[in-house]
Amino acid sequence: MVGKRKHMSGARWIITAVAVAGALVAAGCGSSGGKSTTPSSTSGTKAPSTAAVSTSQCGTKAGAAATGTPIPLGVIVTNQPGTSFTDISNMAAAYFACVNANGGIKGHPIKYYIETEQTNPAQIAADAKQLVQTDHVVGIVGNTSIIECSIDSSYWQKLGYDIIDSGIAPECWSTPNSAAVNMGPRYSSDGAVQYALSKHVSKIVFDQSNVPGTGYIAAGPAALAGAAHVPITQLTENVPISDADSVAIKEVDDAGPNGAVVLNFTPPEALVILQAAQKLGLEDRVKLWGCSTPCNTDFLATSLGPKWNDKLFVNAELTPPDVTSTPTMKLYEAMLKQYGKAVSGGIGSFSQMGFTEAEIAVHALETITGPYTVASVNAAFKAVSNFNTGMLCQTWTYGSYSMHIPNNEDYTVTPDNGKMVTAQGCTQISSVDPQIKAYRSLAGTAPPAG
């Protein structure tokens, strides 16, 4: 019996080993398969003049590889099943790689340390300490995390880091040490609600995912609807949603035929709700549907059918790539192609945010004349003023304010047969939102990016 057991245990080990090997092989196949799952949004409608754009304009000395002492920068991004922001950090890394290949920062290459986290507060705090104490980063660029700003903001303040991020948690906009390139869930929802209000709807139903900060997010739309004397119902859904049908029915019933349903969810969750509404024939039972910026992906436009053309209006925090062919946009697309192999989502708001954050950082670093220390780098970040990123409605400013909402003017887009097209150009988020009002009283209104 013992011998038989040993024999079986040997067989079991072999099977386990085979299973793991099979998994490795599958992962190898899968990652290439994963790449090809990106619907290439560059096909068809884009002007093909990207071929002529040289990525070397990202740096100061075309073709000269930077070989000096590296400038270490760090980033913390969420990467867990269902929520992954690694495209943002990977695109920023691509930008830095481009700069390093074209002169660096006065000959110094940028070394980018990427820490991923699974929404675990202790892990996020540990990641920040790793970046500072072990990797000795002098600046933090590109943080995108559901809760990082809340966890680390006092740590960054204590050590004097002024981070450039694409935020989600309230502290990304309400503390002195964080300035975001995006608007985040509250102000983006403001934008979507504002658009709905501009179409004279009689009721707003605002539904969001039940992740940290729902009250903070809900306060914006509540203020806007209140000022317009339009009733607003605030709902939350536990995610992941397993009963999208009942969610869609509930929203539509509450909004009524002249109402609007505005959603604030991650793309997969927003998709199931909208698809459920479509399957149940509910999409026309309200005047219009709105969504905050996560819905602004071509994935969503493709997955939804043509029924949502001019029916769903999505707030877009960044300049829509599909209808823009400025030099910066062309650079972005060329850089993505040449250096962005790890960016699985291709052209879209995630990689755009990464590009913009890196662009700002590089612009700031190039102004530094002495050594690259925590003090000098973060002073340079804070000194960024009215910088035209080419990706936003306005110029971007950091500044020494107690709070930062530098991106407060956005587009509205709508699906058009599988792509997102502009429905409304740059529109300011209303000062009725008390946080926006507070920021504008500190920083004024930034000039439009001409």
Positions 198 through 237 that interact with other proteins (CB under 8 A): 210-216, 218-219, 236
Measured distance CA(304)–CA(413) in Å, rounded = 14
235/379 with CB nearer other proteins: 235
246 binds other proteins (CB under 8 A): yes
How is 21-64 classified by DSSP, letter by letter?
A: HHHHHHHHHHHHHHHHTS--TTTTTS-GGGGG--GGGGSSSTT-
Which of the ranges 20-28, 59-67, 224-232, 386-394 carries the binding residues for other proteins, by CB under 8 A? Answer: 20-28
Phi-psi region of 58 (alpha: psi -120 to 50; beta: other; left: phi over 0): alpha
The 8 Å CB, 24+ separation contacts for 165-168 are 165/140, 165/141, 165/357, 166/85, 166/88, 166/142, 166/353, 166/354, 166/357, 167/143, 168/144, 168/213
Distance of CA 49 to the CA centre of its chain: 27
107/305 with CB nearer other proteins: 305
431 binds other proteins (CB under 8 A): no
User: 310-339: which residues touch other proteins (CB under 8 A)?
Assistant: none
33 binds other proteins (CB under 8 A): yes
146 binds other proteins (CB under 8 A): yes
Copy the structure tokens of residue 66.
């930077």
Per the listing, tokens 């000062």 go with: 431
Residue 264 pairs in a beta bridge with: 208
Smallest distance, Å, CB 52 to other proteins? 26
Compute, in degrees rounded to 10, the torsion defined by CA atoms 97, 138, 86, 290.
Answer: -110
Which of the ranges 101-109, 194-202, 260-268, 369-377 carries the binding residues for other proteins, by CB under 8 A? Answer: 260-268
Which of the ranges 35-43, 47-55, 194-202, 325-333 carries the binding residues for other proteins, by CB under 8 A? Answer: 35-43
Contact pick of 97, 225, 271, 291 for other proteins (by CB under 8 A): 271
User: 353-392: which residues touch other proteins (CB under 8 A)?
Assistant: none
Residue 209 pairs in a beta bridge with: 237
258/402 with CB nearer other proteins: 402
17/62 with CB nearer other proteins: 17
147 binds other proteins (CB under 8 A): yes
User: 38-67: which residues touch other proteins (CB under 8 A)?
Assistant: 38-39
Nearest to 132 by CA among 150, 104, 152, 109: 152
With contact defined as beta carbons under 8 Å apart, do 358 and 95 qualify?
yes
Contact pick of 244, 255, 362, 405 for other proteins (by CB under 8 A): 244
Smallest distance, Å, CB 430 to other proteins? 18
Contact pick of 84, 376, 424, 431 for other proteins (by CB under 8 A): 84
User: 276-305: which residues touch other proteins (CB under 8 A)?
Assistant: 278-282, 294, 297, 299-300, 303, 305
With contact defined as beta carbons under 8 Å apart, do 157 and 175 qualify?
yes
